[in-house]
Amino acid sequence: MIFAVDNVSCGYGSRRVLEDISVTVESGEILCLLGPNGVGKTTLFKTMLGFLPLMDGTITVDGESIAHWSQRRKARVMGYVPQVHTPPFPFSVIDVVIMGRTAHLSMTAAPGKEDTVKAEEALERLGISYLADRIYTEISGGERQMVLIARALAQEPRILIMDEPTANLDFGNQVRVLSQVYRLAEAGMAIIMTSHFPDHAFLCSSKVGLLERDRFTVGPADEVVTEETLRRTYGVDVHIVREEDPRFATLKSCVPVIDR
């Protein structure tokens, strides 16, 4: 499966936020989008998902334009994990996950046994079956994020789009979520995620898309995430530290230079 964004321009009304964006993601790949606030990452996501109309360019799946796909068809191919989600009612976790089955139901049908099984399988796949009967609004932020991933998996998508999946999570939960993202890609899913942490690009991405105010660069993390590009993008000095560990390949992390 190949998801391709080709010379896409997008924005709101007549105001263009991004122009001439091109990138492809294949099954088993993780594309990590980096960039400062307000540069257009969320706008690009909304356009990919069909929430905003294309201004120019094409978005295709295996060469077929999705411009005229129904939202139902898109939902069967693309799953979405938002930054935050607070439902208006205190649903149980299993009910939240079953909501992911909506794309597979007719307009008047209620979820059936098969849909419940799919939701239970999604929870089990992520190792959070113990949350099934808990109230979604009463669990921790990290647990909610895992439930949102489970809801997206219940859709049985081929592409998973994740808007800052580690936002507002503590260090332990960030690692757990990133580990699950990596496993999903290993299982053959194409994943597009945004992050405010350049380290995440080194940890689990296949390629990086760096959105700046006046350019978009795509490539391997080692080539795109450099001290120079981070300084230019975020306006701060950063050292990229490399460490050799016999158990892994070369480890890299971004260390900001703090003025004292």
pLDDT tens digits for range 109-119: 788 999 999 99
pLDDT score, position 79: 93
Each residue of 31-68: pLDDT tens digit?
A: 999 999 889 998 999 999 989 999 999 999 999 999 99
Task: Report the candidate in 160, 195, 200 with the shortest Cα–Cα distance to residue 179.
Answer: 200
| Residues forming a β-bridge with 219 | 208
Which residue stretches of the chain have pLDDT < 50?
none
User: How much is the pLDDT for 176?
Assistant: 83
The whole-number pLDDT of residue 205 equals 87
Task: Give the residue among 1, 24, 6 at the shortest CA–CA distance from 219.
Answer: 24
Instruction: Please tell me the predicted confidence (pLDDT) of residue 228.
Output: 94
- Structural contact between residues 190 and 206, judged by C-beta atoms closer than 8 angstroms: no
Q: pTM here?
A: 0.88
What b-and-e string marks burial along 14-33, b requiring 16 or more CB atoms within 10 Å of the CB? Answer: eeebbbebebebeeebbbbb
Output the CA–CA distances (angstroms, integers) from residue 143 to 23, 79, 153, in the order listed: 31, 18, 15
